[in-house]
């Protein structure tokens, strides 16, 4: 349970807003707002770093935030102070997620399709695992790559998530409607709910929906009543589709707010988290942030799930200040981008290493990559299907690549049975290849 922050007298708050604190306190408040901390950590910093009581420091923090409040969703009193750090991060995202796209400086042109498929799979796997899907990443990726039918609920959740992301990509320019929202939820939850009829429908008076702590089963959030949902859906669609708002909210922050609104309202019996993340993903693409396709956002959230949950709880505990949730998700985007850069550098290094084998002559880059696979693992066994999946090529192209290496004795064919063939190191591999 989140600790309740102390109440602040209106007179003290007004005084803190009018009278500027000294530089030491101002600097600490700025630092606290950069990471958007809550009372439970702020209280330990006051005496040591500012020389004032915890309550006084909290008062200064609240005063600084209130002075920057934007009212986001009046019905539920949701507000957001736009901090300097939020604006800096949004500017950096604008430059990286859009400005650098055209020159292929982030995602190499020749690898875009392969990176895209990989990132979409990662997003589907981690988003589903956050909601209880129990399977390994390796098994899940094999299922998606080989288009194997899901064998249990966990695999079905991941397959659904993957198909939903694909659906969102296809409809990224479409306006959001009630029907499309229900379609996204139906795709996301089909064949995974206790009651199959709950897929693609809004909750009603027969549904008792609360959000519990997974370990203690303590209720941490009770959504607004179901009677509010029709109006909510209308407001969500307006907020999602609005092109010339009276008050400008940066598109990335607006997308994060959409994520929060769906999770807060919990309009469905189940699958709200997965649907909320899909809608954020959709909104980012709709606003032209194409690099979102290549980011595994849910992987970062899954690895900081407690912080994700706290961002919701801090918002409710602190008078519906959604700054906690916005700040957390901006950090998620930043880390997702760094991980993408790291992944691409790694893959480029692997490609450069593989290309060193081109010197043996009369082979293409894929064949060079195959040779490198056997240098790294001499006991490797590959199939035509493996190469189709790895390089996103047709069976004919994969067979042609293998045939060229078999004819040179670099690989040799083995039989698994009367039909299926595999390929291992050939008799001339060690004499022709220097690993």
- Please give the Cα distance from 13 to 63 (Å, whole number): 6
Query: Given the structure tokens 């950590």, which residue do they identify?
Result: 41
The model carries a pTM of: 0.85
- Please give the Cα distance from 176 to 276 (Å, whole number): 13
Look at residues 248, 231, 232 and name the one whose alpha carbon lies nearest to residue 287. 248
Which class for 163: exposed (0-12), middle (13-18), buried (19 or more C-beta within 10 A)? middle
352: which DSSP letter?
A: H
CA angle 362, 364, 365 (to 5 degrees): 140
pLDDT in tens for each of the 435 residues of the chain?
789 999 999 999 999 999 888 999 999 999 999 999 999 999 998 877 878 999 999 999 999 999 999 999 888 999 999 999 999 999 998 887 654 444 455 666 656 667 777 888 888 898 888 888 888 888 888 888 888 899 999 999 999 999 999 999 999 999 999 999 999 999 999 999 999 999 999 998 877 777 766 556 677 778 899 999 999 999 999 999 998 888 899 999 999 999 999 999 999 999 999 999 999 999 999 998 888 888 889 999 999 999 999 999 999 999 999 999 999 999 999 999 998 888 888 888 888 888 888 989 999 999 999 999 999 999 999 999 889 888 878 899 999 999 999 999 999 999 988 888 999 999 999 998 988
What is the helix (H) or strand (E) element at residue 205, kind and residue range? none
Query: Given the structure tokens 């693609």, which residue do they identify?
Result: 200
CA angle 63, 69, 73 (to 5 degrees): 135
Fold for 72-345, please state it. Fic-like fold (1.10.3290)
Look at residues 393, 389, 423, 394 and name the one whose alpha carbon lies nearest to residue 408. 423
DSSP code per residue over 135-186? --HHHHHHHHHTTPPP-SHHHHHHHHHHHHHHHHHHTTTSPP-HHHHHHHHH
Radius of gyration, CA atoms only, the chain: 26
CATH code of the domain occupying 361-432: 1.10.10.10
């Amino acid at each position: 349970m989140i600790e309740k922050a102390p109440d602040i007298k209106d007179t003290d708050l007004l005084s803190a807003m009018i009278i500027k604190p000294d530089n030491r306190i101002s600097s600490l408040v700025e630092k606290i707002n950069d990471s958007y901390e809550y009372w439970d950590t702020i209280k330990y910093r006051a005496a040591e770093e500012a020389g004032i009581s915890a309550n006084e420091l909290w008062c200064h923090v609240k005063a600084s935030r209130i002075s920057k409040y934007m009212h986001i969703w009046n019905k539920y009193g949701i507000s957001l102070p736009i901090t300097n750090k939020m604006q800096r991060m949004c500017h950096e995202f604008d430059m990286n997620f859009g400005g650098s796209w055209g020159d292929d400086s982030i995602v190499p042109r020749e690898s875009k399709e392969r990176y895209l498929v990989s990132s979409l799979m990662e997003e589907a796997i981690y988003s589903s695992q956050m909601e209880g899907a129990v399977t390994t990443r390796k098994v899940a990726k094999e299922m998606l790559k080989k288009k194997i039918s899901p064998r249990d609920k966990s695999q079905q959740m991941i397959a659904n998530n993957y198909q939903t992301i694909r659906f969102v990509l296809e409809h990224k320019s479409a306006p959001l409607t009630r029907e499309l929202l229900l379609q996204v939820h139906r795709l996301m939850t089909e064949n995974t709910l206790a009651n199959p009829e709950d897929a693609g429908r809004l909750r009603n008076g027969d549904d008792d929906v609360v959000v519990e702590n997974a370990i203690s089963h303590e209720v941490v959030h009770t959504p607004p009543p179901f009677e509010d949902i029709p109006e909510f859906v209308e407001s969500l669609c307006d907020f999602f589709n609005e092109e010339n708002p009276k008050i400008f909210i940066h598109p990335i922050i607006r997308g994060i707010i959409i994520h929060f609104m769906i999770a807060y309202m919990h309009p469905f019996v189940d699958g709200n988290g997965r649907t909320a993340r899909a809608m954020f993903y959709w909104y980012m693409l709709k606003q032209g942030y194409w690099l979102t396709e290549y980011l595994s956002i849910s992987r970062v959230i899954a690895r900081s799930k407690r912080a994700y949950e706290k961002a919701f709880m801090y918002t409710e505990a602190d008078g519906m200040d959604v700054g906690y949730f916005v700040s957390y998700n901006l950090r998620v985007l930043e880390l997702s981008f760094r991980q993408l850069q790291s992944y691409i550098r790694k893959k480029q290094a692997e490609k450069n290493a593989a290309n060193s084998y081109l010197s043996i002559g009369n082979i293409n880059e894929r064949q060079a990559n195959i040779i490198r696979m056997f240098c790294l693992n001499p006991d490797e066994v590959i199939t035509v299907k493996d190469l189709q999946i790895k390089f996103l090529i047709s069976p004919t192209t994969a067979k042609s690549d293998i045939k060229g290496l078999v004819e040179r004795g670099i690989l040799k064919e083995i039989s698994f049975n009367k039909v299926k063939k595999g390929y291992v190191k050939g008799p001339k591999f060690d004499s022709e290849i220097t690993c």
